[in-house]
A and B are shown apart, each in its own frame.
Chain A
């Protein structure tokens, strides 16, 4: 499965009825592998699985078998059919039938009942891809619940949800817990673990570190256990970020004047400078990604001007941007980032090779040296440089993509959610790297859903709302409260939750 790496080594895991159990660990710790073994996606090399009162171990050789035994999993990447309606998704594969035909009436009635019982605010006839990711996630959970699952595994369900959506998901989880469902909850958000979980199991490098009651394990201890060391790196970073240079006197690296793209991003002005980390913040779908994509030429802007080093330029394709020294780490690693069947080596060199062109292939040795250099520099955990990138854990895949762009030696590096779904250790490493690169003179655009993280690294933040650039904050204005207010549109609120509520309306 993960050649050369033992993904999971003699791990014990116990889930009780009506319990929410956090499964914690850094990327590559074995969380996903454990889940996949429990749900029959991977086969066991050794060990046994027991369910309920059965004295005998069960054989879990397929996802269907796992489902039949009441184990369901909902993944970060939702595995439903986006082009079908909510109701169809709830019943696909197990449609109620009447005289051999699908009984649509029953489907619709039962869908309504299910959605109501779980308090999911969505119309059953809506196509799934028109629903927010939170709703999609809830539909996936509803489907699992309706299939009488006793064990519900939620793999990073909150990584693309905003605060109010997380709140709703938690309500749903509590409701299920009270019905006696055991829930395994995988997340990278520590506060969420402490908000809702009863137990914590920590894995590290495929081995069990231990099982703890939430009350008995303070946050700092949990982090220490996940990383296997004491943890004061975050503090260090904070000190570093306090250097705030006045960039406005320098010559801008890139300037945008009225750059925009219909229906995606309203015309905006922006100047960025070398050596500066600029954060782009706003709610999911507020246009932060669209903005940086229009800078990079990933989506062609249809109005406005772009200047680099005071010279007007146009990026027709990403290739043009790359040639001018831009680099872009996309938000959706799986869809836009990794080339999954290719090796780590090929994934690292591909951008530089594309820049060099069709007739200047790198020598084998050159490629290997580059690959080794970045595997070493970014501490990428991989069995070898020839391992297909799809066999790496998410955080390590992300590091490969970062390596890919560093290799092109860019002047301006755009990082769109580089830390999403990544463990704390790697997150810290990436933040440090960002600061280091900026110090060396690289201009950096940084997008993250976690404001903490941006406050730590950015010297200026651009705030987005409804596909529009609505503010620029720097210096003393860079506080959590100020940013939240700007995102919310100047409405003064004290509580984080209610701010998010306001924005939704």
Chain B
């Protein structure tokens, strides 16, 4: 029944293409490429990277730099989504809490300081730890009390910025110390922006955790079938709880970076609306928001797609207040392209083309 050689050769080529198209990261990468490459038409120097005063400059660097917090948030959001089939909408507010704790400790409670009242590391860890507690609070509500994630995390979404204000006594706390600024800007002698380094380290650490523990398998298993997972000996409650704690810790880290960028704790603006971008990054990465299988790589690509879009639009001189409109349009297109209906249509077209080709070849040989 084997067909002649040349056809099977072209078949194997077809198969490779099919495999690439069907890879779970194909659409996310395609989305990112479309966003970035559109700059080739409008602004070719988008891809230029230059060295000024010993540091790297360029739009592309901007995308990676500005996208750092989003990448960190997206990783936590991916875990939460996979394990609980829901999202943590409090991460933006938790960022503000982290920033508030950290800055008010550094300033010793004053509204502004030029001298550190405490080692930065201690303050940063305190901020991140409080964020971890926020995550634990969410985790208990979701995992133990089985409250829907959206509702459970709505509490801190609403209250989080208020809590941050409690720490800062309602002011914007400024930490005007150069050694604090480096985490959101540059380290002396290193051309790469520090946030990029922090986000890369975070990704590597998460990758190591996935490699050296079974968290990935457990999270997916619990997210797909919580009943069955319990019966094979997994503690579904604890696993969901852990993901929320991790999500909180990562939000705290992102909040610390944000605070360092503007060397202050601006409780009303740090991380504002970023939870939505983080959820979108997870979705753009091809992850199901209903939980189960997940891909960090997808979410990270999704995060850069969103940041790439923002930077691209700024590069096109779109004003900040019109930005959301354009962003929305592009997001709609990407999301619709990834939807099951469109994917099915595309597959059908592909199949039809293949069958036409086979028929033509059959006709030619006859």
Whether A335 and B233, one on each chain, are in contact in the complex, defined by CB atoms closer than 8 angstroms, is: no
* Contact for A328 among B211, B217, B224, B231, CB less than 8 A: B231
Whether B213 and A298, one on each chain, are in contact in the complex, defined by CB atoms closer than 8 angstroms, is: no
Expressed in whole angstroms, the Cα–Cα distance for A342 and B294 within the complex equals: 11
Whether A341 and B232, one on each chain, are in contact in the complex, defined by CB atoms closer than 8 angstroms, is: no
A355 in contact (CB, < 8 A): yes
* Contact for A318 among B218, B230, B292, B293, CB less than 8 A: B230
Residues 57-84 of B, flagged 1 when their CB comes within 8 A of A and 0 if not, give: 0000000000000000000000000000
Whether A354 and B228, one on each chain, are in contact in the complex, defined by CB atoms closer than 8 angstroms, is: no
Give min CB distance, B346 to chain A, whole Å: 15
| Cβ–Cβ < 8 Å partners of A361 in chain B | 211-214, 217
* Contact for B228 among A319, A322, A337, A357, CB less than 8 A: A337
Expressed in whole angstroms, the Cα–Cα distance for A338 and B224 within the complex equals: 10
Interface window among A71-79, A159-167, A213-221, A345-353? A345-353
Considering the complex, which residues of chain A in the window 302-353 have a beta carbon less than 8 Å from any beta carbon of chain B? Answer: 317-319, 322-323, 328, 330, 335-342, 346, 350-351, 353
Expressed in whole angstroms, the Cα–Cα distance for A350 and B217 within the complex equals: 8
Whether B235 and A317, one on each chain, are in contact in the complex, defined by CB atoms closer than 8 angstroms, is: yes
Give min CB distance, A175 to chain B, whole Å: 38
A359 in contact (CB, < 8 A): yes
| Cβ–Cβ < 8 Å partners of A342 in chain B | 217, 220-221, 224, 293
B225 in contact (CB, < 8 A): yes
Expressed in whole angstroms, the Cα–Cα distance for A339 and B218 within the complex equals: 11
Whether B224 and A351, one on each chain, are in contact in the complex, defined by CB atoms closer than 8 angstroms, is: no
| Cβ–Cβ < 8 Å partners of A298 in chain B | 230-231
Whether A358 and B231, one on each chain, are in contact in the complex, defined by CB atoms closer than 8 angstroms, is: no
Give min CB distance, A402 to chain B, whole Å: 13
* Contact for B232 among A318, A340, A356, CB less than 8 A: A318
Give min CB distance, B6 to chain A, whole Å: 23
- Where chain B touches its partner, the secondary structure class is helix
Known: A346-B217, A361-B212, A361-B214. A338 touches B232 (CB 8 A): no
Give min CB distance, A371 to chain B, whole Å: 13
| Cβ–Cβ < 8 Å partners of B234 in chain A | 319, 350, 354
Whether A338 and B228, one on each chain, are in contact in the complex, defined by CB atoms closer than 8 angstroms, is: yes
B229 in contact (CB, < 8 A): yes
B192 in contact (CB, < 8 A): no
Expressed in whole angstroms, the Cα–Cα distance for A404 and B228 within the complex equals: 12
Nearest CB in chain A to that of B344: its residue: A43
B50 in contact (CB, < 8 A): no
B215 in contact (CB, < 8 A): yes
Known: A322-B233, A328-B231, A330-B231. A341 touches B214 (CB 8 A): no
Whether A318 and B231, one on each chain, are in contact in the complex, defined by CB atoms closer than 8 angstroms, is: yes
| Cβ–Cβ < 8 Å partners of B114 in chain A | none
Whether A318 and B228, one on each chain, are in contact in the complex, defined by CB atoms closer than 8 angstroms, is: no
Whether A318 and B214, one on each chain, are in contact in the complex, defined by CB atoms closer than 8 angstroms, is: no
Nearest CB in chain A to that of B230: its residue: A318
Give min CB distance, B76 to chain A, whole Å: 18
Whether B232 and A404, one on each chain, are in contact in the complex, defined by CB atoms closer than 8 angstroms, is: yes
Residues 215-251 of B, flagged 1 when their CB comes within 8 A of A and 0 if not, give: 1011011001101111111110000000000000000
Whether A353 and B217, one on each chain, are in contact in the complex, defined by CB atoms closer than 8 angstroms, is: yes
Considering the complex, which residues of chain A in the window 351-385 have a beta carbon less than 8 Å from any beta carbon of chain B? Answer: 351, 353-361
What 5 pairs between A and B have smallest CB-CB spacing? A354-B233, A319-B233, A351-B232, A322-B233, A361-B214
Interface residues of B (CB under 8 A from A): 211-215, 217-218, 220-221, 224-225, 227-235, 292-293
A sample of 11 more A-B contacts (CB under 8 A), given A336-B228, A340-B224, A361-B214, is A318-B230, A318-B233, A336-B225, A339-B225, A341-B220, A341-B292, A342-B217, A350-B232, A354-B232, A354-B233, A356-B214
